Structure 1
Amino acid sequence: MKIGIFGTGGMAAALGGAWTTAGHDVVIGGRSQERAERTAGLISAAGHGSIADAARHGDAILVAVPAAEAPHLVGFLAGSLAGRTVIDCTNSLVPTDEGLMLNLGGATSVARQLAAAAPDAHVVKAFNLCHTSVWTLRPPTFENVPLAVPYCADHPAAAAATETLISSIGCTPAPCGGLARAAYLEATAALAIGLWWAGGQPRAAFPSQAEVSHP
């Protein structure tokens, strides 16, 4: 699959590297051509260029820029994103005395903001629950179980493309409903990442059905 990545940071490199290893055709797009070239070189991507170049290249687009910047950027390129799968992996989180909190300015989710900014694109929320380092594992498997990747999508073709990208790096797709439920994934990220930072184990709160005895 042809994938355009918006961003040159850790998530762009980690997921872009996983997809390149899996045989996908990845182009890194950034505002700094030096950083785009460096990130592309680190992961042996097919190419690099501007954000607009990445938008034109990808059948699927990964938005891996700061959450506060993502809606404006996606809106600016809305014409190039029409009909494409646009995957939002961002988290709008701020540290407070009460722990990590969502910072959405009254919006339901970053993903819904992107969908409003580019109404002809097919926005998906995915890849936002794990630290960057998880996506550098080949494959991400824990206790012999492939990592599940929850996602929210409204469009069937976008959901199928996202499942292909998830499965191709050795993970298990976990559909969680339409984009209206993306807010739950973003809130889960705030909870899970906050627990990690506090030294907790979020997965311990979610035992598998096989581990639960039934009367």
Structure 2
Amino acid sequence: MRIGILGTAGMADALGTQWRRAGHEVLAGSRSGGLSQAAEFGTDAVLLAVPYEAVVGVVAGLEEVLSGRVLIDCTNPVGPGFGLLTEGGPSAAERIASAAPTAHVVKAFNLCHESVWRLTPPVFDGRPLAVPLCGDDPHALSVVRRLVRDLGCEPLNAGGLDRAGLVEATAALLIRLWLGEGADAQAIAPPREFAGVH
């Protein structure tokens, strides 16, 4: 696949490096230059990996180039004190979709720190990391599922883009538990067999 990455910081570098290892062609661009070239390059997928505060402006400026593209949103609208900057809605992913209405936005890769994406692969106690995906376009979801599997992870269907706010709120909660409380956030969910699901 040809993957364009909007951003050159930690998440962009971690995911881009792993996708290159998996055999994909990757081109990244920063806000100081190269964003348009990266978006044009990403004929199969474009990863949006700039700070949340900049995402709507970046996407709106590239709306024409992003038309028809699979646009992967890994941003987290989390502010000081671990508060959700989009509380009350719409979600970050929905704001991005509004800024580029002809792109196919998929929310993914936002629940883990960049260091997790540098693991080859991210497997814990023999269990591959699961990655929730929210999106409305079947083809776009199929593309992102493949990219998740190329990292050694398992994609999870978390619903349409209207559910992205729940995934973003989960990220805010996990970040608060990890950084604010020093807690093992993974311990908040029991194994499936104890979750009352049959």
Sort the Cα spacing of 1:213 and 1:16 in 2 relative to 1 into closer, same or farther, 3 A: same
Asked if 1:114 corresponds to 2:69, the answer is no
Matched residue, 2:144: 162
**In structure 1, how many angstroms separate the alpha carbons of the residues matched to 2:56 and 2:189?**
32
The 8 Å contact of residues 107 and 113 in structure 1, kept in 2 or not, is answered as no
- What does residue 3 of structure 1 align with? 3
- Tell me what 2:23 maps to: 23
* Partner of residue 40, structure 2: 56
How do residues 64-79 of structure 1 correspond to structure 2 at under 5 angstroms? 64-79=49-64
Aligned length: 196
Query: CA 1:209 to 1:57, structure 2 compared with 1: closer, same or farther past 3 Å?
Result: same
Q: 1:104 Cα shift?
A: 2.2
Question: Aligned partners of 1:76 and 1:8: how far apart in 2?
Answer: 18
Please say if residues 56 and 80 of structure 1, whose CA atoms lie closer than 8 Å, have aligned partners that are also in contact: yes
Structure 1: gaps (5+ residues):
34-49
**What amino acid sits opposite 2:129 in the alignment?**
L
Distance 2:195 2:106 in 1: 32
Deviates more, 1:173-182 or 1:106-115: 106-115
Deviation at residue 204 of structure 1 after TM alignment: 0.9
Quick one: structure 1 residues 209 and 104, their matched pair in 2 at CA, closer, same or farther if it must change by over 3 Å?
Answer: closer
Runs of 4+ in 1 over 2 A off after TM superposition: 104-107, 210-214
Aligned partners of 2:37 and 2:98: how far apart in 1? Answer: 22
CA distance in 2, matches of 1:148, 1:120: 28
Q: Which residue matches 1:207?
A: 190
Extract unaligned runs of 5+ from structure 2.
none
Deviations 1:32-81 (A, max 9, x none): 35xxxxxxxxxxxxxxxx10000101020000001111011111111111
Amino acid at match of 1:57: F
Computed over aligned residues only, the root mean square deviation of the Cα atoms, in angstroms, reads 1.7
Distance in 2 separating the partners of 1:133 and 1:75: 29
Report 1:115-194 matches (<5 A). Answer: 115-194=97-176
Structure whose CA Rg is larger: 1
> Is the CA contact (8 Å cut-off) linking 2:89 and 2:165 kept in structure 1?
no
CA-CA distance at 1:199 after TM superposition:
1.1
User: What CA distance in whole angstroms lies between the structure 2 residues aligned with 1:95 and 1:213?
Assistant: 35
Write the letter of the residue equivalent to 1:90. Answer: T
Aligned to 2:178: 196
Aligned-partner SS, 1:116: helix
More strand per residue = 1
Partner SS for 1:87: strand
TM-score scaled by length of structure 2: 0.94
Name the CA distance, whole Å, in 2 between partners of 1:192 and 1:177.
Answer: 20
Percent identity reads 49
CA distance in 1, matches of 2:196, 2:3: 43
Equivalent-residue separation in structure 2 for 1:85 and 1:51 (angstroms): 16
User: AA paired with 1:144?
Assistant: G
